[in-house]
C-alpha cells in the first residue's frame, strides 16, 4: 500500500442546461480511480454547483498511480431515467509522484465530452501521500522525471548521459472490438481515450524502470507516439535519453553561469548538501541519487533494459511481414552505406573503448547538447522499412475475437514481440550506417510511422556523430569546450577511405582539419557554431502517384517508390540550399506519408551558412547540346534568374562569408571553388549512387539540364518558392541562427489545411505543383496572420502531412512566432531605451528605469570582452553559451555588433515583458511554445510531462460550422485543456509543446466527423528576467490563489 491518493471536488461553473423544463441542472460527480468510485451529493438546480465534497481517499499501489489516470465524471441526476453524463476530466497524477515537480493539483478543469466538447468547468483538488517503502522500485518507477525537451532542461545539469531507452506496449483498439457495434460512439471514444491514457502511463512506468536500472533519474527528449493500426490494434511506443540530472539551485545556477569552466566538480555534481534540499524520498537519499549509488546493486525483478538476446534474424522467417527492403535498396535510401561497413571498420579506431561501444544502441534523442559533448558530426543516417500489419497478439486480452475467423489469427499467435523486432531491425540498420560514417553514436534520433490500411512505413533518422566519452562516465563535468567552434564540422571518417565521394577541404576556420562541402544533420545548430548571416526554412515537397493495391503487392510498390522519393527530396533540398548560398542543413526531418493512391514526401530543415564550410558554388543551367538559338536564350534567361535569386538571397539572409584575406593566408586550401559538384549527401550516398553522381561530377559543376523533365520540375520548384515577406524569418530548429534579441512577444499556433483533389487524371507533375502550392500558400497565410508581430521569426515550424482519404491531402503546422528586436545599432540605444520607457509608462516605472540603466552599462561593457557582467542576469544556459560563442567569434570576425545587440535585447525584452502578460484575470495566462525556452524568462521549475490524447466526434457537422468549425473548436479545446492542466499544476507555461497526432476523418454525407489529437510538452514555472528574487513558492501560491475556488 504505498500510496494514498486524495481528491476533493470543490465546485462547478458554466455547466450546460440539462433539464429543459427548468433550464437548470442537478449535477453530481463521480470520482474514479482504478476500480474504486466515489460520488458527491447531487447539487440540485444549479449551473454553478458548490459541492465542496469531503476528501475522497484511494489507497493504491504506486504502480497503479503511475498507470491510471484519475477519472472525474460530471453527471446530471435524473430521478426517472438514467443519469445523463455531462462530461469527463482525466487527470494524470504522475507529476505528483515526483517530489521535485508539483505537490498539489488544484484548479479549474474543462469538463470534456467527446461529442459535445467542453461543457463547463470543474474545480478539483488532488494530492498524493507516498509512503516510504523499501521495495518501492520493484514495479514502479516513481520519481523518474520525464522531459519532452530535447536538450538538457534549463535549471538542470547533466551529471551523466546514460543513453537510449525505448519501450512499446500494444493493445486492441476498442474502436475495432465487437462490442463497438452495440455501444454508443461516446462510450467507444471514452474507452479509447482511457485505454490510451492507461497505455501511456504503463509505458512511462516501464521506461522509468529501465532508467533506474541504468542508474539514471530522468528521461530527456521523451518522444511518445501512437500507431493506430486499425484492426491490428494500437501501439504506443516511446523513445528517450536516460540521464542523471542534478537540479541547479538558484544560487548554484548563477554560480555556474559565472564560472562555467572553473566550477568545482563537487559543486554541481553530487554534493549532498545540495541534493538534500530536494528530498526525492527523504529516508533513502542514496537510492534517489542515482549517480552516487548505482542502482544495479538493488535486487531487480524486471528484465534487463535491452533484451539483446532477441535475434534480428528471427524476423526474416515470417515471410509475409518481411518486406523491409531498405537494406537492399540501391539508391537514395539511407541504408546502403551499411554494406560498406566491412572495409570501414578500421575507421572505428580511436573510440573503441568508450562506453558507447558497449551499448546496443548508442542513440540520443537530444538535439542540443552541453558544450563539448558533440565532437564531430558525420551526417544524416536514416532507415525506412515497409511492413504489412498483422493483428497484435496480446495475451492480456485473452481469446481472439470470436466473430473474426480470418486465417491470420493462427499465424500471429506466437509473435508478441513483432513490433519490437521491427524497430530493433531498423535501429540496427541505423547503427551500422553510423558506423560506416566512422561514428559511434547517433544524435537527434527520432522514429516515426505512416500507416495506410494494412501497410506501414517505419522510419528512423538521426545524425551520426562522435561524442565526447567523458559524458558517458560517472562524475564527468562541464567540459571546457576549448575554442573549436568548428570542431563538429570536421569529418569523423577517414579521408582516404571515405564512405562516399565528397569534396573535402581544410576547415575554413581552423585550417587544420578536413570538412565536407555540405553538411546535413537532424540536430539543432550547436551553440558554438559560427554562422554567417541568418538561417531559413528549406522545404522539399514531393508527390508520387501509385496504383491502388492490396497487401503484399501494395507494400512492394511502395517500397519500390521510396528510394526515388528520397532521392528527389534530397536533390530538391540540395538545389534549394545552393540557391540560398548556404552550406548546411539543421533539424532535417523527412516525412513520407502513404495514401491509397499516392505517396507524399515532405522534407523540412533549416539552412545556414557555416563559416567553417566552403562557400557553395553556383548552379549552372545547361541545355542538352543543341545549336538551337532560342533554346540557348531560354537557358540563358533561366541562368540569369537563378543567379539573380542567389544574389538576392545572399542579401536577404545577410550572408557575408569572411573570405577576403583568408584565401591567401590559408596554405592548405585547394584552389577556390567556383562551383560545387552535385553529390548525394554525406550520409545517404551509396555505391550505385556514387557512380551516378560521378557522371554528374565529371562536369565539375552543379548542372541542371533543362531538357530533362525532372530538371524542369526542379527549376520550377526552385524558382516558385516565394521568400518570406520583409520582416519575417522562419526555421524549424530551436532558434534562428543569426537572431538573438528576442522580445517576449510570443504566439504559438496550429494550422491545419485539407485539400480535396479533383477527380481529373492527375500526373505526378500537376500533383507536385498542387502540393507545393498548398504548402507555400499555407506559409503565406501564416505570414499574413502574424504580420502584427513583425519583425518576427517563425521558429520550430513543424509540418506534418497525411493522406486521410483517397483524394485528400492534409497538412498541419505547429510553430511559434517570436518577435525580436531589429535594431542592433549602437547609437540608437539610448533613445530606444527611453522610448521603451515611454511605451510602458504604467508598469513599474522604477523598474524600467533601472532596466534602462543596465541597458547602457551593457552597451559599454560589450566592447570589452567581459561577459561576466551579463552572466548574473543570464537567464538560461543556452544564452550563456550563445554569449560565449559570440565572444569566441569576436576574436576573428566582425561580430561585436551582435554582441551589443544581445546585451540590448535583454533589457528591451525585460521592459516588454512587463507590458505583455495579462494580470488581473481570474484565469492564469499559460504560454505555450514548441521551443525549450521562453525568451526573456528563467524557467525555475519543471512540473512534469503533459501528454494528452483526445477524441472528438460529431454527428451534426453542419450545425457546428462544417469541418473547419468542428476542427477549429476542437483544437481550441485541446489548447484550453492543456492550459488548464498546467495551471492546476501551478505552472504558467508549456515548453517543448508538440502536436504528435492529428487524425481527421469526415463523412459529410452523414453529417459526421471525428478527430483524434495527441499533444505533449513540459509544464513549467517561469519568472521574468526582471523579477530577480521571485521564488518558486511565491509563484506557486499566486497561481493557486488566482485559480482557487471563490
Partner 1 sequence: MAVELDVFVGNTTIMDEEVYQLWLDGYTVNDAVKVRMVSEGMEEYEASAEVVMSDTMDQYRTFQMCERLLHNPTKLANQLLFQIPPHRQAMLIERYYTFDDVFVREVLGKKLSKGTKKDLDDVSSKTGITLKSCRRQFDNFKRVFKVVEELKGPLVENIRQNFILSDKLARDYAAIVFFANNRFETGKRKLQYLTFQDFAFCAGQLIKNWTVGAVGESVFLYVLDNMVEDMDVDLDKEFLQDLKELKILITDKDLLDQHKSLVCTALRGKTKVYTEMETNFKNLSRGLVNIAAKLTNTKDVRDFFIDLVEKFIEPCRSDRWASADMRLYLTHYTNSAHLLDTFKYQVVWDRYMGVIKSCIFKMYHD
Separation between Cα atoms, residue 457 and residue 822, nearest integer Å = 44
Query: Which one among 750, 900, 905, 1016 touches partner 1, defined by CB under 8 A?
Result: 750
Q: What is the dihedral of CA 391, 394, 400, 405, to 10 degrees?
A: 10
Q: Which is nearer to partner 1, 669 or 925 (CB)?
A: 925
Which of 688/973 has CB closer to partner 1?
973
- The one segment of 222-230, 750-758, 840-848, 946-954 that binds partner 1 by CB under 8 A: 750-758
Among 395, 398, 918, 1041, binds partner 1 (CB under 8 A): 918
1022 lies in the binding site for partner 1 (CB under 8 A): no
The stretch near partner 1 (CB under 8 A) out of 251-259, 274-282, 370-378, 923-931 is: 923-931
For residue 394, the minimal CB distance to partner 1 (Å) is: 35
3-state secondary structure (DSSP) of residue 959: coil
Residue numbers 105-124 binding partner 1 by CB under 8 A? 108, 110, 118, 121
Query: For partner 1, which is the closer residue by CB, 160 or 748?
Result: 748
Number of residues that this document lists for the chain: 1046
Strands 117-130 and 218-228: unpaired
Under rule CB under 8 A, residue 56 binds partner 1? no
Q: Does the footprint of partner 1 cover residue 968 (CB under 8 A)?
A: yes
What mask, x for binding partner 1 by CB under 8 A, covers residues 783 to 822? Answer: xxxxx--------------------x-x------------
Among 79, 317, 399, 758, which residue sits at the site for partner 1 (rule: CB under 8 A)? 758
The reply to whether 447 sits near partner 1 by the rule CB under 8 A is no
The C-alpha atoms of residue 675 and residue 507 are separated, in whole angstroms, by: 18
753 lies in the binding site for partner 1 (CB under 8 A): yes
> What's the CA angle centered on 51, arms 49 and 52, to 5 degrees?
130
Q: Among 465, 508, 461, 506, which residue's Cα sits nearest to residue 488?
A: 465
Q: Which is nearer to partner 1, 254 or 755 (CB)?
A: 755
For position 669 contacting partner 1 by CB under 8 A, the verdict is no
Q: Which of 38, 281, 749, 840 binds partner 1 (CB under 8 A)?
A: 749
Nearer of residues 440 and 979 to partner 1, judged by Cβ = 979
Q: Give the 3-state DSSP-derived string for 160-221, with helices as H, strands as E and coil as C.
A: EEEEEEEEEEEECCHHHCHHHHCCCHHHHHHHHHHHHHHHHHHHHHHHHHHHHHHCCCEEEE
What distances in angstroms separate CA 236 from CA 94, 604, 715, one per listed residue? 18, 25, 42
Q: Contact, 989 vs 927, CB < 8 A?
A: yes
Residues 6 or more apart in contact with residue 115 via CB below 8 angstroms: 185, 186, 189, 952, 953, 954, 955
Query: 265: helix, coil or strand?
Result: helix
CA distance 967 to 687: 47
Instruction: List the one residue from 928, 931, 945, 946 that touches partner 1 (CB under 8 A).
Output: 928
The x, y and z cell numbers of residue 839, run together, are 511605451
| Integer Cα distance of 545 and 575 in angstroms | 23
**Contact status: 770 vs partner 1 (CB under 8 A):** yes
Q: Does 723 bind partner 1 (CB under 8 A)?
A: no
Angle made by CA atoms 604, 607, 610, in degrees to the nearest 5: 150
Region of 692 on the Ramachandran plot (φ > 0 left; ψ -120 to 50 alpha; else beta): alpha
From the list 331, 703, 719, 755, which residue makes contact with partner 1 (rule: CB under 8 A)? 755
969 makes contact with partner 1 (CB under 8 A)? yes
Considering the complex, state which of residue 501 and residue 804 has its C-beta at the smaller distance from partner 1.
804
The residue from 81, 921, 1006, 1029 that contacts partner 1 (CB under 8 A) is 921
Q: To the nearest whole angstrom, how small is the minimum distance from the Cβ of residue 754 to partner 1?
A: 4
Span interacting with partner 1, options 342-350, 475-483, 693-701, 754-762, rule CB under 8 A: 754-762
Decide whether 156 or 783 has the Cβ nearer to partner 1: 783
Nearer to partner 1, 15 or 464 (CB): 15
Helices (H) and strands (E) in the chain, counts: 23, 31
Q: Which of 501, 314, 327, 329 is nearest to 417 (CA)?
A: 314
Q: Is 611 helix (H, G, I), strand (E, B) or coil?
A: coil
For residue 1000, the minimal CB distance to partner 1 (Å) is: 7
Total residues contacting partner 1 (rule CB under 8 A)? Answer: 56
Work out how close the CB of 1003 gets to partner 1 at its nearest, in angstroms, rounded to a whole number: 13
Residue 727 sits at φ, ψ, to 5 deg, of 95, -5
User: Strand 742-756 to strand 117-130: parallel, antiparallel, or no bridges (unpaired)?
Assistant: unpaired
Rounded to whole angstroms, the Cα distance separating 420 from 422 reads: 5
Binding residue for partner 1, selected from 130, 451, 592, 782, defined by CB under 8 A = 782
* Segment contacting partner 1 by CB under 8 A, of 379-387, 747-755, 891-899, 1033-1041: 747-755
Minimum Å gap between C-beta 927 and partner 1 is: 7
CA-derived radius of gyration, the chain: 29
Rounded to a whole number of angstroms, the minimum distance from the CB of residue 1016 to partner 1 is 15
Q: Is 756 in the site for partner 1 (CB under 8 A)?
A: yes
Q: Which stretch binds partner 1 (CB under 8 A): 605-613, 906-914, 922-930, 939-947?
A: 922-930
Per DSSP, which regions of 615-741 are E strands?
620-622, 703-705, 728-730
Residues 828-887 that bind partner 1 (CB under 8 A): none
Contact 219, 202 (CB under 8 A): no
Of 920, 1005, 1029, 1041, the one binding partner 1 (CB under 8 A) is: 920
Q: Choose among 192, 282, 281, 182: nearest CA to 228.
A: 192
Dihedral class, residue 756 (left if φ above 0, else alpha if ψ from -120 to 50, else beta)? beta
Q: Is 7 in the site for partner 1 (CB under 8 A)?
A: no
Residue 1046 CB-density burial (10 A; 0-12 exposed, 13-18 middle, 19+ buried): exposed
Nearer to partner 1, 751 or 896 (CB): 751
Q: How far apart are the first and last CA of the chain?
A: 35
The minimum distance between CB 972 and partner 1, in angstroms, equals 5
Q: Does 13 bind partner 1 (CB under 8 A)?
A: yes
The answer to whether 243 and 219 are in contact (CB under 8 A) is: yes
| Stretch of residues binding partner 1 (CB under 8 A), selected from 122-130, 290-298, 630-638, 778-786 | 778-786
Between residues 117 and 601, which has the closer beta carbon with respect to partner 1? 117
Q: What grid cell was written down for 251? A: 544560487
- Joined grid coordinates for residue 749: 499556433
Q: Pick from 440, 1000, 1012, 1039: which binds partner 1 (CB under 8 A)?
A: 1000
Does the footprint of partner 1 cover residue 765 (CB under 8 A)?
Answer: no
Verify cis geometry, omega within 30 degrees of 0, for the bond prior to 791. yes
Pick one of 210, 979, 996, 1024: the residue that binds partner 1 (CB under 8 A): 979
Q: Which stretch binds partner 1 (CB under 8 A): 691-699, 742-750, 894-902, 1019-1027?
A: 742-750
Is 965 near partner 1 (CB under 8 A)?
A: yes
Q: Min. distance of Cβ 635 from partner 1 in angstroms?
A: 29
- Residue 288 vs 812, nearer CB to partner 1: 812
Give how far Cα 935 sits from Cα of 459, 816, 927, Å.
Answer: 33, 12, 11
Smallest distance from partner 1 to CB 791, Å = 14
CB of 597 to partner 1, least distance (A): 16
Q: Does 748 bind partner 1 (CB under 8 A)?
A: yes
The binding site for partner 1 (CB under 8 A) comprises 13-14, 108, 110, 118, 121, 725, 747-758, 770, 777, 780-787, 808, 810, 918-923, 925-928, 961, 963-965, 967-969, 971-973, 975-976, 979-980, 1000
Amino acid at each position: 500500500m504505498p500510496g494514498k491518493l486524495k481528491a476533493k471536488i470543490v465546485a462547478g461553473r458554466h455547466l450546460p442546461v440539462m433539464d429543459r423544463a427548468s433550464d437548470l441542472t442537478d449535477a453530481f460527480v463521480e470520482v474514479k480511480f482504478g476500480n474504486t468510485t466515489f460520488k458527491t451529493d447531487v447539487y440540485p438546480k444549479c449551473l454553478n454547483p458548490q459541492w465542496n465534497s469531503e476528501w475522497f481517499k484511494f489507497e493504491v499501489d504506486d504502480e497503479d498511480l503511475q498507470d491510471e489516470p484519475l477519472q472525474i465524471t460530471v453527471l446530471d441526476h435524473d430521478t426517472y431515467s438514467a443519469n445523463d453524463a455531462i462530461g469527463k476530466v482525466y487527470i494524470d497524477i504522475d507529476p505528483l509522484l515526483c517530489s521535485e515537480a508539483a505537490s498539489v493539483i488544484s484548479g479549474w478543469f474543462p469538463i470534456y465530452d467527446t461529442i459535445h466538447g467542453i461543457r463547463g468547468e470543474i474545480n478539483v483538488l488532488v494530492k498524493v501521500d507516498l509512503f516510504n517503502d523499501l521495495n518501492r522500485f520493484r514495479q514502479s518507477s516513481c520519481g523518474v522525471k520525464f522531459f519532452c525537451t530535447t536538450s538538457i532542461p534549463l535549471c538542470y545539469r547533466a551529471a551523466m548521459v546514460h543513453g537510449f531507452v525505448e519501450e512499446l506496449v500494444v493493445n486492441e483498439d476498442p474502436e475495432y472490438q465487437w462490442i463497438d457495434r452495440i455501444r454508443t460512439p461516446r462510450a467507444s471514444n471514452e474507452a479509447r481515450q482511457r485505454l490510451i491514457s492507461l497505455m501511456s502511463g504503463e509505458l512511462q512506468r516501464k521506461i522509468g524502470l529501465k532508467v533506474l536500472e541504468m542508474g539514471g533519474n530522468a528521461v530527456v527528449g521523451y518522444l511518445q507516439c501512437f500507431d493506430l493500426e486499425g484492426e491490428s490494434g494500437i501501439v504506443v511506443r516511446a523513445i528517450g535519453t536516460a540521464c542523471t540530472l542534478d537540479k541547479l539551485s538558484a544560487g548554484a545556477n548563477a554560480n555556474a553561469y559565472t564560472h562555467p569552466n572553473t566550477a568545482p566538480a563537487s559543486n554541481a555534481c553530487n554534493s549532498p548538501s545540495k541534493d538534500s534540499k530536494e528530498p526525492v524520498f527523504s529516508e533513502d537519499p542514496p537510492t534517489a541519487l542515482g549517480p552516487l549509488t548505482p542502482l544495479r546493486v538493488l535486487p531487480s525483478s524486471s528484465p534487463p533494459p535491452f533484451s539483446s538476446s532477441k535475434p534480428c534474424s528471427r524476423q526474416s522467417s515470417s515471410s509475409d511481414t518481411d518486406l523491409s527492403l531498405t537494406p537492399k535498396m540501391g539508391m537514395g535510401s539511407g541504408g546502403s552505406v551499411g554494406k560498406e561497413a566491412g572495409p570501414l571498420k578500421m575507421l572505428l579506431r580511436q573510440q573503441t573503448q568508450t562506453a558507447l561501444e558497449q551499448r546496443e544502441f548508442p542513440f540520443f534523442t537530444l538535439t542540443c547538447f552541453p558544450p563539448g559533448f558533440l565532437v564531430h558530426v558525420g551526417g544524416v543516417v536514416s532507415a525506412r522499412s515497409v511492413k504489412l500489419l498483422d493483428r497484435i497478439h496480446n495475451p492480456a486480452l485473452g481469446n481472439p475475437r470470436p466473430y473474426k475467423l480470418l486465417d491470420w489469427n493462427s499465424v500471429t499467435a506466437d509473435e508478441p514481440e513483432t513490433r519490437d523486432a521491427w524497430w530493433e531491425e531498423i535501429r540496427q540498420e541505423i547503427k551500422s550506417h553510423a558506423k560506416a560514417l566512422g561514428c559511434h553514436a547517433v544524435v537527434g534520433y527520432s522514429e516515426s510511422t505512416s500507416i495506410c490500411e494494412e501497410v506501414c512505413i517505419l522510419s528512423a533518422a538521426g545524425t551520426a556523430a562522435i561524442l565526447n566519452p567523458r559524458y558517458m562516465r560517472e562524475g564527468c563535468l562541464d567540459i571546457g569546450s576549448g575554442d573549436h567552434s568548428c570542431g563538429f564540422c570536421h569529418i569523423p571518417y577517414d579521408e582516404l577511405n571515405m564512405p562516399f565521394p565528397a569534396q573535402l577541404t581544410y576547415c575554413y576556420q581552423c585550417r587544420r582539419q578536413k570538412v565536407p562541402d555540405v553538411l546535413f544533420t537532424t540536430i539543432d545548430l550547436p551553440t558554438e557554431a559560427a554562422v554567417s548571416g541568418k538561417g531559413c526554412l528549406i522545404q522539399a515537397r514531393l508527390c508520387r502517384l501509385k496504383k491502388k493495391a492490396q497487401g503484399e503487392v501494395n507494400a512492394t510498390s511502395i517500397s519500390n517508390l521510396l528510394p526515388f522519393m528520397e532521392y528527389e527530396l534530397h536533390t530538391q533540398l540540395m538545389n534549394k540550399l545552393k540557391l540560398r548560398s548556404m552550406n548546411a542543413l539543421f533539424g532535417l526531418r523527412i516525412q513520407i506519408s502513404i495514401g491509397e493512391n499516392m505517396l507524399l514526401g515532405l522534407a523540412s530543415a533549416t539552412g545556414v551558412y557555416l563559416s567553417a564550410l566552403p562557400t557553395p558554388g553556383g548552379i549552372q543551367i545547361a541545355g542538352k547540346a543543341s545549336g538551337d538559338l532560342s533554346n540557348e536564350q531560354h537557358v540563358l534567361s533561366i541562368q540569369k534568374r537563378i543567379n539573380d535569386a542567389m544574389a538576392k538571397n545572399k542579401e536577404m539572409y545577410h550572408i557575408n562569408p569572411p573570405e577576403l584575406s583568408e584565401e591567401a593566408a590559408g596554405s592548405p586550401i585547394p584552389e577556390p571553388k567556383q562551383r560545387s559538384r552535385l553529390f548525394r549527401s554525406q550520409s545517404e550516398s551509396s555505391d550505385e549512387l556514387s557512380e551516378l553522381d560521378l557522371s554528374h561530377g565529371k562536369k565539375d559543376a552543379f548542372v541542371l539540364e533543362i531538357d530533362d523533365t525532372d530538371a524542369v520540375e526542379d527549376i520550377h520548384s526552385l524558382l516558385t518558392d516565394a521568400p518570406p515577406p520583409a520582416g519575417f524569418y522562419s526555421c524549424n530548429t530551436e532558434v534562428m541562427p543569426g537572431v538573438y534579441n528576442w522580445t517576449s512577444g510570443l504566439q504559438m499556433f496550429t494550422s491545419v489545411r485539407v485539400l480535396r483533389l479533383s477527380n481529373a487524371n492527375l500526373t505526378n507533375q500537376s500533383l507536385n505543383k498542387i502540393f507545393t502550392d498548398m504548402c507555400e500558400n499555407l506559409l503565406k497565410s501564416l505570414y499574413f496572420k502574424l504580420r502584427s508581430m513583425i519583425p518576427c521569426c517563425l521558429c520550430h515550424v513543424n509540418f506534418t502531412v497525411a493522406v486521410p482519404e483517397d483524394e485528400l491531402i492534409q497538412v498541419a503546422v505547429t510553430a511559434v512566432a517570436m518577435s525580436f528586436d531589429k535594431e542592433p545599432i549602437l547609437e540608437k540605444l539610448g533613445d530606444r531605451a527611453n522610448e521603451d520607457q515611454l511605451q510602458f509608462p504604467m508598469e513599474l516605472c522604477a523598474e524600467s528605469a533601472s532596466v534602462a540603466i543596465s541597458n547602457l552599462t551593457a552597451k559599454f561593457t560589450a566592447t570589452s570582452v567581459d561577459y561576466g557582467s551579463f552572466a548574473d542576469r543570464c537567464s538560461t544556459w543556452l544564452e550563456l553559451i550563445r554569449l560565449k560563442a559570440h565572444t569566441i567569434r569576436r576574436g576573428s570576425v566582425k561580430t561585436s555588433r551582435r554582441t551589443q545587440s544581445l546585451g540590448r535585447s535583454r533589457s528591451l525584452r525585460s521592459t516588454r515583458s512587463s507590458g505583455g502578460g495579462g494580470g488581473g484575470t481570474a484565469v492564469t495566462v499559460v504560454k505555450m511554445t514548441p521551443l525549450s525556452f521562453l525568451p526573456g524568462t528563467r524557467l525555475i521549475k519543471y512540473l512534469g510531462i503533459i501528454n494528452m490524447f483526445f477524441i472528438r466526434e460529431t454527428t451534426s457537422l453542419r450545425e457546428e460550422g462544417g469541418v473547419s468549425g468542428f476542427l477549429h473548436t476542437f483544437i481550441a479545446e485541446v489548447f484550453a485543456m492543456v492550459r488548464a492542466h498546467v495551471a492546476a499544476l501551478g505552472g504558467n507555461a508549456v515548453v517543448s509543446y508538440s502536436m504528435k497526432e492529428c487524425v481527421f476523418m469526415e463523412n459529410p454525407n452523414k453529417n459526421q466527423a471525428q478527430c483524434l489529437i495527441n499533444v505533449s510538452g513540459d509544464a513549467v514555472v517561469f519568472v521574468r528576467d526582471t523579477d530577480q528574487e521571485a521564488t518558486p513558492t511565491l509563484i506557486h501560491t499566486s497561481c493557486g490563489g488566482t485559480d482557487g475556488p471563490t
